[in-house]
C-alpha cells in the first residue's frame, strides 16, 4: 500500500512589527528613570536627625524645594557601627548622594529646631545648610511627550484599521500603495483562450494584443503601434474577467488585477497616489497587462461628482489614470484592460 506524501506549503511568516521595538525602548527608558541602582538613602525622623547633629556626625544638609532635607554624613562618622551599611557601600555613594533624608512638614519649625540644637556650637562646628530648588526635567518632558505618544499611537492604529489592517509595522505608510494583485510566472496565470467558451468576436479583438505582447519587435520594427488597451463591456457573469486573464495567459506575461473601488478611500489624494504606484509597478514588470474591473466606480463623467464646486476624489483618480495612460510611450509594453 503506497502512501502519497502531501506537499505542505510553508506558511507565510508574519511580518515583524517594528513598533513593538520602539515601544519596548520607550518603556525601558521610562523604567530606568525610576529605578535607583545605587544604595538607597534612608528616611529618618526629626529626633534621629537631632541626635546625629548633637553627636557631630552630620557634615551638611541640603533643603530641596522646601520639602525634603538631604543629610550628608562626615567621612569619619561612616566608620561608626551604626553606619556600617553605608561604610560597606561607601564607594558607591557619590558626593551628591545623601545617606539620609527627612521629609519637612514645616520649614520654619525645621530650621528652628536645627538652630536650637546648634546654639552652643562654635562656628566651626555648625553644619552647613543650603536651600536648593530642583526641577525634574524628565517628569516635565514626560508630561507633554506621553500625550503626544498616545495621540500618535491612536492615529497609527486607526490608519492601519482603515487601510486594511495587516501585521506589517509600516502599514500606515502604505495607504497610498496600489492594492493590485499580481499574477506572474511564480503565481501562475493558467487560463488561456481554450478555457473561454464562446466570445469568439471578443477573442478576435484581443488577439492583436496577445501577438504584440508575444513578439513586440515584430510590430515596432515596422512602425506599428499597439492600442493602449481595450474596454470590455457586458452584464455581470459574461466572462469579462476570464477573458482578460486568458489574454495574459496566452501572452505569458504578468497580470495585475484590481477593482475600480480599490482606488477610492476617504482620504483625499489616495486614489491618485494608488494609480501612480500601480503604473510604476506595471512599467517595472513590462510587458504586462493591467486589468481594472468595474472601472465605472471611478470612470463617471467628469464635472458631475461634486455638488459644492470642489474636486471629487473619484474625479482626481480618473484624471490621474488618464494622465498615466496618455503619458505612456507606445513601446512601454503595458496594456490596459478595463471591464464595466
* Tens-place pLDDT, residues 23-36: 788 777 777 666 65
**CA–CA separation, 324 and 322 (whole Å):** 5
SS3 21: helix
**Residue 252 backbone zone (phi > 0: left; psi -120 to 50: alpha; other: beta):** left
Q: Residues 137-157: pLDDT tens digits? A: 777 777 788 788 888 888 877
Q: Does domain 176-303+311-339 have CATH number 3.40.50.300?
A: yes
Residue 168, Cβ neighbours under 10 Å: how many? 15
**Residue 128 backbone zone (phi > 0: left; psi -120 to 50: alpha; other: beta):** beta
**pLDDT at residue 20 greater than cutoff 90:** no
**pLDDT at residue 67 greater than cutoff 80:** yes
**pLDDT at residue 22 greater than cutoff 60:** yes
Cβ–Cβ under 8 Å, residues 152 and 19:
no
Which residue carries 480618473 as its cell?
318
What average pLDDT does the chain have? 76
Q: How confident is the model at residue 327 (pLDDT cuts 50, 70, 90)?
A: low
Which residue carries 510587458 as its cell?
287
Name the residue with higher pLDDT: 268 or 228: 228
Q: Which of 78-87, 166-175, 286-295 has the lowest mean pLDDT?
A: 166-175
**CA–CA separation, 17 and 174 (whole Å):** 14
What local confidence, expressed as pLDDT, does residue 235 receive?
Answer: 83
Please identify, in words, the CATH class of the domain defined by 42-134: alpha beta
Grid coordinates representing 90 are 561607601
Name the residue with higher pLDDT: 282 or 311: 282
CA-wise closest residue to 18 among 171, 174, 178:
171
pTM as predicted:
0.49
Strand partners, 257: 181, 291
Structural domain boundaries of the chain?
A: 42-134, 135-175, 176-303+311-339
What local confidence, expressed as pLDDT, does residue 2 receive?
Answer: 42
Q: Residues 195-218: pLDDT tens digits? A: 777 777 777 778 777 888 777 777
**CA–CA separation, 58 and 56 (whole Å):** 6
**pLDDT at residue 102 greater than cutoff 90:** yes
Amino acid at each position: 500500500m503506497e502512501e502519497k506524501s502531501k506537499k505542505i506549503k510553508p506558511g507565510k511568516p508574519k511580518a515583524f512589527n517594528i513598533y513593538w521595538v520602539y515601544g519596548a525602548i520607550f518603556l525601558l527608558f521610562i523604567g530606568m528613570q525610576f529605578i535607583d541602582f545605587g544604595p538607597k538613602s534612608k528616611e529618618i525622623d526629626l529626633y534621629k536627625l537631632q541626635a546625629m547633629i548633637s553627636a557631630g556626625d552630620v557634615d551638611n544638609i541640603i533643603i530641596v524645594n522646601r520639602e525634603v532635607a538631604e543629610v550628608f554624613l562626615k567621612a569619619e562618622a561612616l566608620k561608626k557601627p551604626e553606619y556600617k551599611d553605608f561604610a560597606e557601600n561607601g564607594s558607591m555613594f557619590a558626593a551628591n548622594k545623601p545617606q539620609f533624608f527627612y521629609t519637612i512638614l514645616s520649614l520654619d519649625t525645621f530650621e528652628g529646631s536645627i538652630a536650637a540644637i546648634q546654639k552652643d556650637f562654635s562656628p566651626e562646628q555648625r553644619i552647613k545648610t543650603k536651600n536648593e530648588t530642583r526641577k525634574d526635567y524628565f517628569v516635565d518632558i514626560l508630561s507633554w511627550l506621553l500625550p503626544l505618544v498616545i495621540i500618535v499611537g491612536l492615529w497609527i492604529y486607526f490608519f492601519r484599521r482603515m487601510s486594511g489592517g495587516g501585521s506589517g509595522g509600516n502599514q500606515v505608510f502604505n495607504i497610498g500603495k496600489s492594492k493590485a494583485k499580481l499574477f506572474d510566472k511564480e503565481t501562475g496565470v493558467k487560463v488561456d483562450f481554450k478555457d473561454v467558451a464562446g466570445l469568439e468576436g471578443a477573442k478576435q479583438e484581443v488577439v492583436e494584443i496577445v501577438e504584440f505582447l508575444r513578439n513586440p519587435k515584430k510590430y515596432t520594427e515596422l512602425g506599428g503601434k499597439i492600442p493602449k488597451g481595450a474596454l470590455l463591456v457586458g452584464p455581470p457573469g459574461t466572462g469579462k474577467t476570464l477573458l482578460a486573464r486568458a489574454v495574459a495567459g496566452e501572452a505569458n506575461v504578468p497580470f495585475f488585477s484590481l477593482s475600480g473601488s480599490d482606488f477610492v478611500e476617504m482620504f483625499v489624494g489616495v486614489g491618485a497616489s494608488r494609480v501612480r504606484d500601480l503604473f510604476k509597478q506595471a512599467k517595472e514588470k513590462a510587458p504586462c497587462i493591467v486589468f481594472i474591473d468595474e472601472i465605472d466606480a471611478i470612470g463617471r463623467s467628469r464635472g458631475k461628482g461634486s455638488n459644492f464646486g470642489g474636486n471629487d476624489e473619484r474625479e482626481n483618480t480618473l484624471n490621474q489614470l488618464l494622465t498615466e495612460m496618455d503619458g505612456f510611450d507606445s513601446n512601454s509594453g503595458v496594456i490596459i484592460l478595463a471591464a464595466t
